[in-house]
Structure formats: structure tokens, C-alpha cells
Amino acid sequence: MPNYRYELKSASGQINAGVIAADSITAATQMLRSQGSYILSLAAVAQSQGGGLQKLLSFNVQTGPSAKDVMNFTSQLAVMIKAGISIRAALEGICDQVDNVKFRDILQQIKRDVEAGKTFSEALARFPKVFSPLYVNMVRASELSGSFGGMLERVAEYLTQQHETRAQVRAAMIYPIIIGVMAVSTTVFLLTFVLPKFVVLFEGKEAAMPMPTKVVLASSYVMRTYWYIILAVVVGLIWMFFWAINTDWGRARWDQVKLKMPIFKKLCRCLYISRSMHTMGELVNAGVPMLDTISITANISGNTLYKRMWLQVYVAVKQGKKIAQPLQRSPLLPRSVVQMIGSGEESGKLAEVLSDISEFYQKELKNVVRTVTAMIEPLMIVVMGALVGFIAMSIILPIFKLSSLVK
């Protein structure tokens, strides 16, 4: 159980310091708060790392902070701020617990900026690759309204929901990828290792072989003889695909394809609509200016077509129009969603309406993920079985034919 060094200020003004053992910094905070004192500082006690061999064995390559790192940081910070710990002490305590070295350096820089007199949102804005514009703007709005702790909780909930959504979509994609890899691997194995053992049976009898057998034997010969060319072509195509989707033109075309694929188009639409509505609703609730809200929603939508749609809304709102007006001309949002947004603007309950739409599409996304997974599973099994069955029949058919000729 880790130890935490604390400094408390009692109701009478007396300052006490000491060390407490707890499962986590959150548990330590609750234990100290139960004493009725104000927590001035709370930080984990550094533990020795052992000898040089232990350091060498524990070495690992550190990457940048992940979305989960930011989510955990936000949740811990929200708990500590609501417990009455100052932002400086909270950052110091969390820094000592962070395993990712790069993220720890970022948090220490944020702590130094806060100590130098900058607001927390200004310190966060220095790291746009870690803390998104949505994160920074919600924190900035909470600083102006005085609801810092509560807003951090909302940011943590937002990040948690987005993480769960990505996990759902990723889970729906993993199964077909695994089945596809297995199908390709099995086919390559049969053509390159199994089929050549039967070639000697068919030598000199090419005229008696059916067309499927000729096709399979030719494919096996090409794959065994020119495997390096095939491998180079496959690697080149994969490289070209990832290069293309990193260009503006390629990204736009790929985003169009995702919205037209027979099985995945509904999943993608639910994902983009849910993400846009949830982001917009949180920003409106936080009191972020509408133009900033629309701009952030555009950049966080995740699809080029939806980004263009929200940028068109941005231009229209800047000209004094309502949000629903430009959305009526877009095929990317269902008519019912546009009508609900218009009603929310008219009634002054836009944030509530956006939250309701987001919640509906979040549930719809879960149903679509289940449906897509259920559809892909038998489809991929049929495709894999057809490939293996075709190769097997291509080997068996000429054997039957040759045996009948012998008789």
C-alpha cells in the first residue's frame, strides 16, 4: 500500500503534517477530509527504484499520453478539487502517481504555469495534442462560472463515454479482421504448401483436369514462383492506402466510402451523429459561445463530410441565422434530428434537446454494433468455407475423374 505525505490546516488554524497509507490518492483524500481539516498538500512518497539491474529490467519505451491517461487524470482531479484540495496540491499529488513519463512532464509544466499565475485553461491550452479544444473550452467556461469541480466531472464523463464508444466500434471491427486474416492465411497455406504435393498426380494429365483445378494449380504456381512480387504489391497497396487517407482528397473519398458501405454505413452515421450531438450539448451546457461550440463540434466530428456540414452551419450562424436552417439542406442528418434542433432553439432548451438526441443515438449505436457483428459472423464464415471448399473440390474432382477413366 503506497504512502502519502500530507499537510493539513485545522479549523483553529493549526498546521499538521505527516504520512498516511492508502490504496490510492483518492482514498487518502477521503480519509483526511473525514478529519474535518483543510488539505494544503497531498503527494505520494517517492519509493526507491532498486539497483541498476532492476532499473534495466523495468525499462520500457514511453509513448505519449493516451486518451485513457487523460480520462483518469480528469477523474482524479475532479474528485480532489471537490474534496477541497487546491489545484496546485492536486496536480502535485497526481503527478507522483502518473506512470507515463511524458504525461508526467506535461502535468509538471502545467503545475508550474499555474503557480506562475496562469489560469488552468491557459496552462492546458499549451498542449493541444493532449487536451482537445473541447476540454480547454469547458474548463475555461467553468473558471468563469465558478463550477470548476462539477465541470471536471462532466468532462470526465464525456471522455469516458467517448472512450466506451470507440471501444464498441473497435470491437465490431476486430472480429471480421480476425476472420479475414484467417481466411487469407488458410488460402495461402493451402496453395503454397498443401497443393504442390498433389501436382505430381496430375502431371501429363492436364487435358483431363477440370477448369477449377487448372485455375487453382496456376494460382499456386504464381504464388510460389513470384511470391516476392505479390508481397511487394500487397505492401505497396497498403502503403498507398494509408498515404492517401492522410491527404485531404483521400480522406474525403474514404469518408464518403464509409458512409456508403452496405453493412457499416449505419454504424458510421450513428457514431458521427452521437459524437457531434454529445459534444455540442456539453459545450452549450458549459456556457461556451455558440460559434466556438460549432467550430469545436466540426473539428471533433471525425468525418470530413460532417466537418464541412458544421462549418457551413458556422458561417450561417455568424451571419445571424439559426442552426437548423443550413442543416435542413444537408442529407447527413435525419429530418427528425433537424426538427428537434429547431424546436430546441425556439424553446431555449437546445442543450437538453442535444443531450436527448445524443443519448438516443448512443443507444442506437450499441444496437447497430450488435447487429453488424451478428451479420458479419456468418458472412465471414461462409466466405472462408467457400474458399477452402473450392480449393478442396479442385483437388478431389480430378482424382475422381482420373479414377473413372482408369476403370
pLDDT at 43: 64
Residue 50, pLDDT score: 45
Grid coordinates given for 198: 498433389
Question: Strand, helix or coil at 183?
Answer: helix
Q: Nearest CA to 313 among 299, 302, 343?
A: 299
State the alpha helices, DSSP H only, in 146-264.
148-189, 199-202, 211-225, 227-245, 248-258
Ranges of CATH 1.20.81.30 domains, the chain: 172-186+226-407
Look-up of cell digits 509544466 = 109
pLDDT at 10: 66
Element holding 61 (H helix, E strand):
none
Contacts of 245 by beta carbon, 8 Å cutoff, 6+ apart: 251, 254
pLDDT tens per residue, range 358-386: 888 888 888 888 887 777 778 878 888 88
**pLDDT at position 206, please?**
62
- Between the two ends of the chain, the Cα-to-Cα distance in Å is 82
Contact 396, 201 (CB under 8 A): no
Q: Name which of 80, 78, 148, 88 is nearest 115 in CA terms.
A: 88
Out of 3.30.420.10, 3.40.50.150, 3.40.50.970, 1.20.81.30, the CATH code matching 172-186+226-407 is 1.20.81.30
Q: Can you read off the three cell numbers belonging to residue 27?
A: 482514498
Instruction: Report the 10 Å Cβ neighbour count for 300.
Output: 20
**Residue-by-residue DSSP string for 70-121:** HHHHHHHHHHHHHTT--HHHHHHHHHTT---HHHHHHHHHHHHHHHTT--HH
How many separate helices (H) and strands (E) can be counted in the chain? 18, 3
Integer-rounded Cα Rg, in Å, for the chain is 30
> Which architecture characterizes domain 3-46+63-131 according to CATH?
Up-down Bundle (1.20)
C-alpha cell at 129: 495534442
pTM: 0.68
How distant, in Å, are the alpha carbons of 15, 113, 123, 133 from that of 127?
36, 12, 8, 10
Residue 176, Cβ neighbours under 10 Å: how many?
19
The secondary element (H helix, E strand) that includes residue 193 is none
Q: Are 26 and 94 in contact (CB under 8 A)?
A: no
d(C-alpha 175, C-alpha 377), whole Å: 8
| Predicted confidence pLDDT, tens digits, the chain (407 residues) | 667 766 666 666 666 666 777 766 667 777 777 766 667 666 666 544 444 444 333 444 456 678 888 888 888 888 888 777 888 888 888 887 788 888 888 888 888 888 888 888 888 888 888 888 888 888 888 777 667 777 888 888 888 887 887 787 777 778 778 877 888 888 888 888 877 877 777 666 666 677 887 888 888 888 888 888 989 999 999 999 999 988 888 888 998 998 888 778 888 888 888 888 888 888 888 788 888 888 888 888 888 999 999 999 999 999 888 888 888 888 888 888 889 998 888 888 888 888 888 888 888 888 888 887 777 778 878 888 888 888 888 777 777 766 665 54
- Residue from 39, 140, 26, 20 nearest 87 by CA: 39
- Residues pairing with 18 in the sheet: 6
Helix H or strand E encompassing 365: helix 350-406
